[in-house]
Amino acid sequence: MEKSLSPARTRTVRPRIGVSSCLLGAPVRYNGGHSRSRFLTDELDRYVDWLPVCPEAEIGLGVPRPTLRLQRREGEDRVVSSADGADHSDELARTADRHLARLRHLDGYVLKNKSPSCGLFALPVFDDDGGRVGGRGRGAFARRLTELLPALPVEEQGRLTDPVLREVFVQRVFAHARLRELWESPWRPRDLVALHTRHKLQLMSHSPDGYRETGRIAARAGAFAPEEVEVAYTEAFHRAMAVRPSRGKHVNALQHAFGMLSPLLDDARRHDLLAAIEDYRREQVPLSVPVALLRHHCTAEDVGWARDQTYLRPYPDELRLRHSVAV
């Protein structure tokens, strides 16, 4: 039987996530319907707290309402009504400013794709006559949100159907929450070093350079004002976590953990673990297979350093996000 971890180590922080209200099932879309995401409402909902926002409803456009579209006017993409051409861009953007006090305490945001207010990527842009002039537009609220909080993990609902993008986004959200929780506490430099140590493999799987940069900041935390350390470490941490992990970097992180554990294993267990890592490298098994073996052996051998790595349990196991061979 595996040894149990202490409550202090197993407690999972609860992230706060902003979300387009329609994705949680609120009937606020232009046609009076919703765009409920079952991943958000049936799976992620148990582990996070939501801040639902519908910018279009908040500025009083009503439900149902005429559709909106992005229209290029004098070189700028504006959100206009299909009914009368009224420009709602500034009102939609100001919605983000009104919520800024709460947005600053979020750990992520999920936006409705294909929405002229909330769409994040590749929205179609039209000219005055209704012809397409491009397809790389961004919704007015989404654009302002990312301007105000450039380090916030943000994703579109449609892209979360991709298992790789879904796993990366949830990873970032929970990592963001752990760091936020540290800053909200009466932290000391040694607490930052402890958090950084726990995130070593996770940071390495995203950006080895980012891991080294954050490490330098954590090591010198006692020499600077806490406010300076918070800003510097937060920026470096989120910059590193924003880099998409590759299979090669995952293999590097797995082999690093194996190196710490190897002296405690017999030849048979050592061979099994190396074989699982190689099978993952060859895309024959999902990441969850070598990670599960590492967790099992680290717990059985009471390897505290490796066992406590966030890389081995970046979010609740019940989300089952590492079971795709593509990850």
pLDDT level of residue 6 (50, 70, 90 thresholds):
very low
CA distance 250 to 279: 13
This prediction's pTM? 0.93
* Section 277-283 average pLDDT: 97
Provide the pLDDT for residue 81: 94
Q: Express each pLDDT in 75-100 by its tens digit.
A: 889 999 988 999 999 999 999 999 99
Classify the C-alpha dihedral 245-250-252-258 as positive or negative: positive
For residue range 193-244, what is the model confidence (pLDDT) as tens digits?
999 999 999 999 999 999 999 999 999 999 999 999 999 999 999 999 999 9
- Walk across the sheet containing 76-81 and list its strands: 76-81, 68-73, 123-126, 132-137
**Domain ranges in the chain?**
16-158, 163-241, 247-319
Given a cut of 80, whether residue 135 has pLDDT beyond it is no
Residue 3 has pLDDT above 80, yes or no: no
**What CA–CA distance (Å, rounded) separates 259 from 189?**
28
Which tokens sit at 133? 């002039």
